[in-house]
Structure 1
């Protein structure tokens, strides 16, 4: 493989790790720093500003980054097809699809209820609970996917080290 192709492939794979790391950081932050406080600090007068602007921005960001990541994963799959690491991009198919489906099929409905405006504290707390639980499903999936991606880079480094002696 030419040095230019190798560099482009490295950038491609680094983008996958970049996206996996953003996902990891976002969901770990939500789980450990925001979610523990939400039930006791969010109420009808402040929940909207604490959730909706951030989720709207995240949706816009991931609307752009996820399709690029999918293309990068196809490139990774093609280049790793004849290696023992082809399972990594194959694992990313459900690993990327599942969190997107959870978002589109379930979380978006909760977000829409938040956006419509809530008038009952009990409903707010029930929706917060559901919203946090659904996002924790994505947290678990994306943590596993980050670990798989890290394994890929460690395995590649070991291969290079073994090849170079």
Structure 2
């Protein structure tokens, strides 16, 4: 059981690191260029990256949720269960924002469902604001899973 728990915790850390890293790249490197997107440049600079990210995280996130649940079950009765619960709550929060609030905007933008450049920019600003929520949420999630691993102690011994 120790190895399974170790791999589970490390997978969650891996996923949280990918998520946070993606959000940091988005905020600091892509946002500045996306403020000037036009209907002509949107497909290459917005459409392709957001579609690829959606496909990628559709594969990465479900095992993260399962890993978080395994951590909760394995830590039941321990004070560390609260960190495990925060991991689960964090990935649910990020998924909700992405699936319920951001994906519909992605589809509108990629589908060209806007009247002009001004409306495109309004959609992009809303999209960026929602992703700022994921930026902060993914950073907190990463800190929580790192805290879990630190509190757990020596990885090899703690999961044995």
TM-score of the superposition, structure 1-length normalised? 0.87
Segments of 5+ residues of structure 1 without an aligned counterpart are: none
Match of 2:153 among 148, 151, 157: 157
Q: What is the CA deviation profile of residues 64-109 of structure 1, one whole-angstrom value per residue up to 9, with x for unaligned ones?
A: 2211111111111111112111011211232111121112222112
Partner in structure 1 of residue 137 of structure 2 = 141
Partner in structure 1 of residue 105 of structure 2 = 110
Partner in structure 1 of residue 74 of structure 2 = 79
May I ask how many residue pairs the two structures share in their alignment?
156
Q: Which has the larger radius of gyration?
A: 1
Deviating beyond 6 angstroms after TM superposition, the runs of 4 or more aligned structure 1 residues are 158-161
Partner in structure 2 of residue 47 of structure 1 = 42
CA contact (8 A) 2:23 2:131 kept: yes
Secondary structure of 2:40's counterpart equals coil
Tell me how far apart the structure 1 counterparts of residues 84 and 7 of structure 2 sit (CA, whole Å): 15
Tell me how far apart the structure 2 counterparts of residues 12 and 69 of structure 1 sit (CA, whole Å): 8
CA contact (8 A) 1:44 1:119 kept: no
TM-score of the superposition, structure 2-length normalised? 0.90
Residue 44 of structure 1: how far off its partner (Å): 1.7
Tell me how far apart the structure 1 counterparts of residues 89 and 74 of structure 2 sit (CA, whole Å): 19
Secondary structure of 2:109's counterpart equals helix
CA-based RMSD of the aligned residues comes to 1.8
Residue 26 of structure 1: how far off its partner (Å): 0.2
